[in-house]
Structure 1
Amino acid sequence: RWDTNTLVKYGDDWYVVSGGVVDFGYNGAYVYGDTLNAIDGGVWNKNYNGPIYYDGNAYTLTNGTLYSYYLHPQAVNHNAPYLIAVDRTNNCITVYAKDNSGKFTVPDRAFVCSVGTDGLTPVGVFNTPAKYRWKELRGNVHGQYSTRIVGKVLFHSVPYSKQDNSTLLYRSYNKLGSA
C-alpha cells in the first residue's frame, strides 16, 4: 500500500498519490522530500518551465529545478503592469505579467543578464523610478535603454563606447550571462 500522499515511480514517470490512489488530475506544486516539484496531470513534469505556487509563495522552475529566488509577497499584488525577477545565481531575468486575479504569475519573457560584480546587485523589492534612452555607466561607457532600480543600480544593455548603436563593445557582449 502506498503512503496516503506521496510520489511513486511507475515505468519512467513519477505520479502523485493522494489518499492511496494515483491522482491523474493533479496539477501544481508537490513537495517530495526536500524538493519542490511541478506536477502536470498527476505526472512529475521534469521539463517544466515557469511559475509554481507553494505555501502562498510563487517560485520559478526551469527544467523542473527550483530557481534560487521567489517572487516577493509584497510584489505579488503591486499596481505595476509587470514584475521583474532577477535570478542572481543563474544570471537570468524573468518578466511576469498579471493573471486574471491580478497576481504576477504569467511569465511574459525571460532573458540572460549579467548581475553586478562584487555583490552589487541588491536584494529586495524596488520600483523603477527612471528610464533613459542612453545613460553613462562606470568606466566611461554608455548603456542603452537603462532603467534605474535603486540608487546607482541600473538595468541596462551591454556597454557601448559612446551613445551610438554602432559602438557596442563586443567583448562585453560575449560576457553576457556571467557576473
Structure 2
Amino acid sequence: MSPKKVICFVAALVCFAVFAAGCAGESEPAPSEAPRPSASPERTEEPGATAAPSPTPTPYTELREGAQGETVRKLQEALMELGYLAQDKATDYYGSLTRAAVVTFQRQNGLQADGIAGEETQELLYSGNAAECEPFSLLAPTVGMSFEELVMSDDGTRDQYPEGYPEPGTYKIIVDIEHQVTMVYTKDENGEYTVPVRYMLCSTGKDDCTPKGTFKMDNYRVRFSQFARDKTYGQYWSQIRGAIYFHTILYEEFDTSTYIEEVWEKLGTADSHGCIRLTVPDAKWIWFNIAPGTECVVRDGDPDDDVTASIRERLVLAALPEERPDIEPQDIPNTDNWSIEDVAHDIPFVQGSQD
C-alpha cells in the first residue's frame, strides 16, 4: 500500500473511533468552548492496540429535595400512577410533597426510607413490580365512615375505663392549628417519630385560645360528662393538661342523638373553648391508645406546609344529614381498623385529676 493510502486509512479509523465514542452513553450538551489541542506531539497507536473502555453510565441519577428537570417529572408520574403522590399533574420540581411520597414508597416497599430517590428506589419504582400505595383510609379510617358512626356512636360502656396503655414513648401526637389536623406517629428504624399511625380532622380553640407548645399527656380521663362552661356534653375526654382535653363533638344532653349540628359543621375550623374536638372514633382511639406521658405537640402550623395541607385536603368526612338518624347508638356498626383487645397494656390505667 502506498504511503498516501496508509495515511487515508489511519484517518478513517480515527474518524470512526470518534463517532463511536460520541454515541455511547447519554448525550450531553455541546461545550461552550472546544477543548484546546495538546501541546505535546501526537502519538501513534501501535497496530492492534485496544482503547480503554469508557465507564458504564449509571442508569438512574440520584434525585433529592430541590432537584429539577425531566427526570423529576418522570419520577412524579410513576409515584402518582401507584397512588403515592396526590396531586393533579406532575411538575419538574422535587419538593416536600415528592419527598414525602418517596418516603412512603420506600417504607411500603421495604427500602430505606430516606426520601432520596436513588438507583435502588427508581429501579423498583419503574420495574412494574412495586406495591401500590396503601389506601389513605388506613391512616384516616373516618373518611369512609357514616355520619352515625362519626357522631352518634356510644357503646354504652360509660363506666368502662382503659385497663392499660402502650408505653408512653410508643406514639407522638402533633396538633396543627393552621390546618386543623391531628396526626399521630410512631418510631422509625432510627428511633424518630416519622411513621404515620392516624390522621384526624379536629377543631382547636377559637381566638387562638388553645395553648401551644410541647406537653406530656396528663392522666385524667372522663368517659361521658358535662362541661361546666356551657352545660353541653362530650365523650372520651383525654387530658392534655389542666382543663385542656381531646374529646368528641358536643351534645345538648347525655344522649348522642342530641348532637349539636353547628358544632359538627364547624369541625375542621377553630371553634372550641381551647380543647381539641374530634369525631367519636378518633377521640375513642386516643382514649384507649395514648398513655399519660405521651408527647403532644400543639403547633401554629405553616400555610406553606404542603405535606400537612395534603393530609387535610383528603380528610373529607360525611355530611350532616337533613334529618336526624333514627337509630340506637349501640346498633351503629363499628368499622374502625383496630380493636380494644389488640391494645398493649404495658402500663396500667391510673385515674388522675384535672388539678
Q: TM-score range by the shorter chain?
A: 0.5 to 0.7
Alpha-carbon shift at residue 176 of structure 1 (Å): 0.5
Pick closer, same or farther for the CA change 1:147–1:160 going to 2, 3 Å.
same
Equivalent position SS for 2:169: coil
| Residue matched to 1:154 | 245
Pick closer, same or farther for the CA change 1:105–1:121 going to 2, 3 Å.
same
Task: Check whether the contact 1:8–1:14 (CA below 8 A) recurs between aligned residues.
Answer: no
Task: Check whether the contact 1:144–1:157 (CA below 8 A) recurs between aligned residues.
Answer: yes
Amino acid at match of 2:214: V
Q: Which one has more relative contact order, counting CA pairs under 8 Å at least 6 apart?
A: 2
| Residue matched to 2:235 | 144
Structure 1: distance between partners of 2:208 and 2:183: 20
Structure 1: distance between partners of 2:213 and 2:242: 13
Structure 1: distance between partners of 2:216 and 2:72: 45
Do residues 83 (structure 1) and 178 (structure 2) align? no
Q: Which residues of structure 1 form unaligned runs of 5+?
A: 16-34, 55-77
| Residue matched to 2:221 | 131
Structure 1: distance between partners of 2:172 and 2:72: 37
Do residues 94 (structure 1) and 153 (structure 2) align? no
Structure 2: distance between partners of 1:53 and 1:143: 41
Do residues 108 (structure 1) and 168 (structure 2) align? no
Pick closer, same or farther for the CA change 1:12–1:39 going to 2, 3 Å.
closer
Alpha-carbon shift at residue 101 of structure 1 (Å): 4.0
Structure 2: distance between partners of 1:142 and 1:53: 45
Instruction: Tell me the alpha carbon deviations over residues 27-51 of structure 1, each in whole angstroms, 9 at most, x when there is no partner.
Output: xxxxxxxx962555xxx959x79xx
Alpha-carbon shift at residue 154 of structure 1 (Å): 1.3
| Residue matched to 1:72 | none
Pick closer, same or farther for the CA change 1:164–1:100 going to 2, 3 Å.
farther
Task: Check whether the contact 1:93–1:111 (CA below 8 A) recurs between aligned residues.
Answer: yes
Do residues 8 (structure 1) and 98 (structure 2) align? no
Amino acid at match of 1:178: T
Alpha-carbon shift at residue 133 of structure 1 (Å): 0.7
Structure 1: distance between partners of 2:230 and 2:95: 42
Pick closer, same or farther for the CA change 1:45–1:101 going to 2, 3 Å.
closer
Alpha-carbon shift at residue 86 of structure 1 (Å): 0.5
Name the TM-score, length of structure 1 as normaliser.
Answer: 0.59
Alpha-carbon shift at residue 163 of structure 1 (Å): 2.2
Task: Check whether the contact 1:7–1:14 (CA below 8 A) recurs between aligned residues.
Answer: no
Amino acid at match of 1:113: C
Alpha-carbon shift at residue 105 of structure 1 (Å): 1.6
The size of the alignment, in residue pairs, is 129
Higher gyration radius (CA): 2
Alpha-carbon shift at residue 12 of structure 1 (Å): 7.1
Structure 2: distance between partners of 1:14 and 1:99: 28
Alpha-carbon shift at residue 165 of structure 1 (Å): 2.1
Alpha-carbon shift at residue 82 of structure 1 (Å): 1.6
Structure 1: distance between partners of 2:215 and 2:101: 33
Structure 1: distance between partners of 2:213 and 2:181: 16
Q: Which residues of structure 2 form unaligned runs of 5+?
A: 1-27, 29-63, 76-93, 106-112, 116-166, 271-355
| Runs of 4+ residues over 3 Å off in structure 1 | none
Amino acid at match of 1:95: V
More strand by share: 1
Pick closer, same or farther for the CA change 1:36–1:11 going to 2, 3 Å.
closer
Equivalent position SS for 1:7: coil
Name the TM-score, length of structure 2 as normaliser.
Answer: 0.32
Pick closer, same or farther for the CA change 1:139–1:108 going to 2, 3 Å.
same
